[in-house]
Amino acid sequence: MSVYRRLKLLSDAHSISGREESICELVSELVSDYCDEVRIDKLGNIICRIGSSIPKVMLAAHMDEVGLVVKYIEENGFLRFAKVGGWFDQVLLSQRVFVHGKRRVSGVIGCKPPHVMKEDERKIPVKHEDMFIDVGARSDKEVRKLGIDVGTPITLDRELRRLSGSRVTGKAIDDRAGLVCCIGVLEKLYEENIDASVYVVGTVQEEVGLKGARTSAYHISPDVALAVDVTIAGDHPGITKKDSPIELGRGPAITVVDGSGRGLITHPKVLNWLKETAERYKIPVQMDVSEGGTTDAAAIHLTKEGVPTGAVNVPARYLHTPVEVVDLNDINNTIELLSKAILNVDEWFMAEED
């Protein structure tokens, strides 16, 4: 299956934080031919293992996407909602959504019309608490007949689309792109005789606290780990290279530091391992120092007595919007980098042990 096809299947799926069951089932189907073992732990992480020797390598990509949840149902049938994960409120207004009750119901996000706003109101961006969802119902009773209640999850109604060349746009590419990379690695490693145990983990609830990474890493207790996520590209209007020098189409971004050091400071040995692999196999990479967010790596590297951890990220534009953009060539190069690094992990691991 092509990278585009896998990304479309995963990006078009709907699973907000804490409700990852459907994406977990899809991942299970996609990896079943490439694993020695697939299991789902108590929190809902999917753990896929190939190989059975030392060292133990963990790859983590989160399954959840930022979403919404029904907070209150108005008597006239409109839904008030809360955010799940980090949203910039302005991207929500006028979006089509799916409300995932007993069946999937379409809706739209609306607000007070600008035609009846006072002049000072029109100058202020609309906050999410002043928005509502219209599913076409006439009353709260009609809403509940649709199987919708307080706590029902909501996702955006978007599908992956091709742009020019090798670039695509869609929702939840953060971090379905990472999942595609991990599945691609499993496919490549399945054809090789690997001298390691590789655990690919689809983690839950990353967007709301890196929760699944923390518990799955504790169970696996890896010798080395890599988070596979997306990172902010600074190659479009409104952002400068001093904010982010990362560009689409120039290869995966290897994290050096994220969150101004409050997240991950990549272990020097892991950083050298990734850089040397890229140089040896002539894989284009970018080095990423970020003052913003972090990834599952921040939770993994603090597991038990500590885990040497790094992060390899696919450059992406417009994160946490319905129109995230990535370059498929970056995904292919991420798969290549991770696969080659793992195939040589015994060489790296034994050298470091000596």
Per-residue model confidence (pLDDT) at position 351: 57
Per-residue model confidence (pLDDT) at position 130: 93
Per-residue tokens: 36:
């020695």
CB 297 within 8 A of CB 309: yes
How many Å is the maximal CA-CA distance in the chain?
A: 73
Domains in the chain (CATH in brackets) are 3-65+171-353 (3.40.630.10), 67-156 (2.40.30.40)
Rg, C-alpha atoms of the chain: 21
Residues of the chain with pLDDT under 50: 354
Per-residue model confidence (pLDDT) at position 119: 75
Cα separation, 343 vs 295, in Å, equals 24
Beta strand 286-289 pairing with 253-257: parallel
Considering 20, 65, 206, 207, which one is annotated as catalytic?
206
Per-residue model confidence (pLDDT) at position 192: 86
Cα separation, 212 vs 204, in Å, equals 5
In DSSP terms, 79 is beta-bridged to: 73, 133
The alpha carbon of residue 49 and the mean position of all alpha carbons in its chain are separated, in whole angstroms, by 20
**pLDDT tens-place string over residues 208-218:** 999 999 999 99
Per-residue tokens: 27:
């991942």
Per-residue model confidence (pLDDT) at position 354: 45
Per-residue model confidence (pLDDT) at position 194: 87
Per-residue tokens: 176:
């379905």
Angle subtended by helix axes 3-11 and 173-190, to nearest 10: 140
Per-residue model confidence (pLDDT) at position 300: 97
Residue 347 annotated in active site: no
